[in-house]
Amino acid sequence: MENLIFNIQKYSIHDGEGIRTTVFFKGCPMECKWCHNPESQSYRPDMMHNTEKCVQCGSCMAKCPQEAISIKDGIISTSADRCNFCETCTDACISNAREVAGKPYTVDEIMKEIEKDKMFYEQSGGGVTLSGGEVMTQNMDYILGILKKCKRLGYRVNIDTCGHSSFENFERILPYVDTFLYDIKHMDNEIHRELTGQGNEMVLGNLEKLSEKGAKINIRMPLVEGVNSDDEHIGRVIDFLKTLKIEKVNLLPYHNTGKSKYERMGMNYEGDSYSAPDMDRMEAIRLRFEKNNFNARIGG
């Protein structure tokens, strides 16, 4: 049993308490306009090509067994229909300009990577975070395999989720998860659909059910100026969260650090039209949550 993973980040300090190993699963039901990991969206591998590194030597095209690569007017392109991600082209590339995003790992292979850092978990109170993409839309038998092994070894596990999945999936893993890092992007259903490609009914409904089940929940709220950081929207979020049992609220200012990935994947980047609220505004939002008895912090 294998699953596609596009990154395993060691010494992570932003996905929960302490020092963590974060495993990024490939595939997500949402396509957020500000997504900083566009390679996470598809449930199949992606070929990424760095034009700044590329010297256009033609080695990749010459070596490709599927003849999937072509060069026209100085632009190298890869046929999605022909490419089978055999990585012959990445091996042939003399400038390391080509990279496959998404490689299959077995549960045992993932656990081998996780266990390399066990001393850091013990010393820092950290553990493992499963992220994405979207963990909750993967093969849940595979996810359970990781969670059960981590539980036996005493590793604390967080699940980072957008919440858009069958609640049955959440119920299956609930006994093995220490904390859910749960996104709230927008309270208005149609605006949420416009921003992410999906409505928010399932997201908010699953959050209510998790709270009812007694799950430990940290809210993560990406904040974008002119999109979801205004007083009216913050008030709606606070009013909704007051009805739930929430451990912590992390306010995450928008950033465009994933911009270069879009070019490498041949995708259009829409994030240039977005910006983060300034720090005065971020602090004002944090204080508003705090005044409503939430443990809120900027970042994390």
**Annotated domain spans of the chain:** 2-43+103-298, 46-101
**Confidence at residue 71, expressed as pLDDT on a 0 to 100 scale:** 87
The token pair at 1 is 């049993």
d(CA 281, CA 287): 10
Q: Quote the pLDDT of residue 214.
A: 97
Q: Could you state, in chain order, the average pLDDT of each consecutive group of 10 residues for the chain (300 residues)?
A: 96 90 98 92 94 91 94 86 94 94 97 96 95 97 98 97 98 97 98 97 98 98 96 98 97 90 89 91 98 95
Radius of gyration of the chain (CA): 20
Q: Hey, is 280 helix, strand or coil?
A: helix
| Residue 230: partners with Cβ closer than 8 Å, 6 or more residues away | none
Instruction: Map residue 149 onto helix, strand or coil.
Output: helix
Reduced to 3 DSSP states, what percent helix, strand and coil does the chain have, rounded to the nearest 5? 35, 25, 40
Contacts of 231 (CB under 8 A, 6+ apart): none
Residue 38 has what DSSP assignment?
G
Question: What is the maximum alpha-carbon separation in the chain?
Answer: 63
Domain 46-101 has CATH 3.30.70.20: yes
Q: Judge: domain 2-43+103-298, CATH 3.40.50.720.
A: no
Contact predicate 183/198, CB 8 Å: no
Model confidence pTM above 0.75: yes
